[in-house]
Structure 1
Amino acid sequence: LAGPDGEAADAAWRRLGAAGDTAVPFLRERIRPVAVPPGDDKQIEKLVADLDAGRFVTRERAAKELEAAGELAIPALRRMVERPPSAEVRVRAEALVRKLTAQPLTADQLRVLEAIDLLGQVRTPKAVALLEEVAREARVPRLRTEAGRAVQRTGKAENDKK
């Protein structure tokens, strides 16, 4: 799936799709570490709060560390944008959100998006359950959003069949 040979990767995805429910545990093992990476939400919240620190050095360090946290920092930054303690914090948080949402997905994240699409095509109860789990628990906003969209598509497809 991750190899340089595109044709082999496509064939592997097709085999996984044909495997139906038997592929779901395999896909779960690949999706969870990328969509729900370990991280310290309390540390991210502290860094977001440090954007309002009295010392410029502390604010700058917090901004750099939040940028390094990548997409994991976006939800906390968006909450800060909604209720900023100061105009400077709002500007810093908005700039970080723009920068982080503009970053391209990693190769692992792109593979997870492919797996989400595949699960949406498989549409078995186990596949949909995994999509719902990712939509609920993913810490990477773009992956959470795409999983939610896939869940909606599977529901729409089921309703269209009726």
Structure 2
Amino acid sequence: MKPAANVTLAIPSIGVRALRVIPYTGTADDKPGTVIQDRGLFASPRGPAGGVGPGEIGNFIITGHRTAHGKPLARLPELKTGAHILVTADGTTYDYVVTRTMTISFRKPAEKAQQNAPVPGHPGATPTHPMLTLSTCATPEDHAAGNYWHDALNNPEHRINKIATPTTTRRP
């Protein structure tokens, strides 16, 4: 499948409106992804160690900042099960619905692998349908607990991931 040239993400319930999603080859929250996020945009890792594109079978991963660079995911923890996430790719809109929340630790490789797995939370499982992992930092929660650890890219220990599945697709 040819990658979409123009992808945006909107989350009406928390005020995120059609912000650009930039694909890159890599894994969630690596250096190339952080550079994209530092521009106030969403980053989407692709390839063998990353995810797939919108509407494709597997894990479509999108990361964004919560406490810096425009704070596009400042309110992500408020996103409830059943909330809609709208991804528009070259005019086609995929309506994903949040099914669960998964928090992972960057200090635990097995947990980080859950975020990047083709089936979120289940490394080694074979995907059978499209899924979305929307991920941001848990910096406020970590700091409130006295945890100031961060990696070389300033990622805090924990990530908040909202896992969603598509319900409808609207084509132009």
Larger radius of gyration: 1
Higher helix share: 1
Higher relative contact order (CA 8 A, sep 6+): 1
TM-score range, shorter chain: under 0.3
TM-score normalised according to structure 2 size: 0.22
